Amino acid sequence: MGDKPSIAVVGYRHGWKFVDSLSLKSDFVGGKLAAICGRSLPQNKPANCPGVPIYSDYKKMMDELKPDGIVAAVPNDIHYEITYEAAKRGIAVLLEKPIAGTLEDAQKIVDCVSTTNIPFMVGHHRRFSAKLNMAKEIIGSGRLGRVVGVNVMWMSRKPNEYFNVEWRVTEKVGGPLLINSIHDIDDLRYTIGEIEAVQAFIGNMIRGLDVEDAGVAIIKFKNGALGSYIFSDGTPSMHFYEACAQEDPFFHPVEEDCYFFFGDKAQLSFPTMKITGYNEKSGGSDWTRPFSVENIPAPRFNPIDGETKHFCEMIKDSDVKSRCTASDATITLKVIEAIRLSTKTGRTVHIDEIKC
């Protein structure tokens, strides 16, 4: 396929970031915006795509335009439905995370894309972050030594009007575990390795809604590393990925860290990319010795652009493999479900217990 693949974006909120990539950065991402689809057009429709058709029915849009691919940034409970409708028409899918709201739907998506063999990727877009990939490289290189533990914080305060959207406050559809924490869990799998078990507690004392607004989890990795994770969407804090990484201009930027990787040789603070340890000038390597600090330069890059580019490359070339397959994304969802089960039962839950 010599021409740029035509991509339709379904969903007006997070989907607008893909609209920008496909319209403002079309030459870089290698795709063209075919249509925008959503239930109601937002007030801030950008001027850069005035001629792009607008649809409210994604099935009608797919039948009339027959795009090469769709970006589906829709509520979690219709992820299977839209994947199925696209797959039966032979249309590639970039499906926003999580893969689904339930493991049952996740397995149906796995089966659907396996049977139809369409180009398919789940939008865990941080896998395209230059900073996160540098952290993964540093950890994999052994510079930190053997990873002993990791501390992760996602602590932020969302605006009150955010919760006026029904699906965001509906159990097994919304809530910070499925909307936000699933990113951090995927980051940990991506950088450190597979998770073996979790022990967790979640609560809703801030807003009293059906969905959680805070939680904490202790994580055991298969390679022996241990992790602690705390999250909340109702606490004023600078310690959350989006603000710290400064990859998305929507969030107010801060010069802080939200991930701390600890090895038996050194520590990596992320995303400032500061490695703390000892060197030959320290005169030793114990707590009586002065630390050495190295700041690793890392470029800032909008990972949505990289993700969109990769999706377009998958459509054009069957040899380009998905960076986050349906099966891979289902494992991340299993960890979230293990956290839920742990908080209900009060016990440690092994990921292998969680079945689709």
pLDDT digits (tens, 9 = 90+) for 213-246: 999 999 999 999 999 999 999 999 999 999 999 9
Mark whether 167 and 113 lie in a shared domain: no
Mark whether 256 and 136 lie in a shared domain: yes
Range in 96-110, 162-176, 248-262, 324-338 with the lowest mean pLDDT = 162-176
326-345 vs 182-191: helix crossing angle, rounded to 10: 120
Q: Decide if pLDDT at 42 tops 70.
A: no
State the average pLDDT over residues 283-307. 93
pLDDT of 51 reads 80
Range in 5-19, 34-48, 227-241, 246-260 with the lowest mean pLDDT = 34-48
Range in 75-79, 296-300, 303-307 with the lowest mean pLDDT = 296-300
pLDDT of 39 reads 77
Q: Decide if pLDDT at 56 tops 60.
A: yes
Mark whether 180 and 217 lie in a shared domain: yes
CATH of residue 183: 3.30.360.10
State the average pLDDT over residues 307-322. 97
* Domain presence at residue 330: no
* Domain presence at residue 1: no
Mark whether 121 and 182 lie in a shared domain: no
State the average pLDDT over residues 87-101. 96
171: confidence class by pLDDT, cuts 50, 70, 90:
confident
Mark whether 116 and 133 lie in a shared domain: no
Mark whether 171 and 106 lie in a shared domain: no
Mark whether 52 and 140 lie in a shared domain: no
* Domain presence at residue 117: yes
State the average pLDDT over residues 264-285. 96
* Domain presence at residue 352: no
Mark whether 165 and 242 lie in a shared domain: yes
User: Distance between CA 323 and CA 122 in Å, rounded?
Assistant: 8
State the average pLDDT over residues 23-45. 83
User: Distance between CA 183 and CA 186 in Å, rounded?
Assistant: 5
State the average pLDDT over residues 257-281. 97
User: Distance between CA 216 and CA 232 in Å, rounded?
Assistant: 9
* Domain presence at residue 233: yes
**Model confidence, pTM:** 0.94
Mark whether 259 and 312 lie in a shared domain: no
Residue % of the chain over a pLDDT of 90? 87
Provide the domain count of the chain. Answer: 2
Residue span of the structural domain in which 41 resides = 6-125+303-322
Range in 33-37, 46-50, 89-93 with the lowest mean pLDDT = 46-50
State the average pLDDT over residues 110-133. 97
Q: Decide if pLDDT at 43 tops 70.
A: no
CATH of residue 110: 3.40.50.720
State the average pLDDT over residues 159-173. 91
Averaged pLDDT score across all residues of the chain: 94
Mark whether 61 and 160 lie in a shared domain: no
Mark whether 149 and 112 lie in a shared domain: no
Q: Decide if pLDDT at 80 tops 70.
A: yes
Q: Decide if pLDDT at 329 tops 70.
A: yes
User: Distance between CA 28 and CA 36 in Å, rounded?
Assistant: 20
pLDDT of 1 reads 43
> Which position has the higher pLDDT, 14 or 46?
14
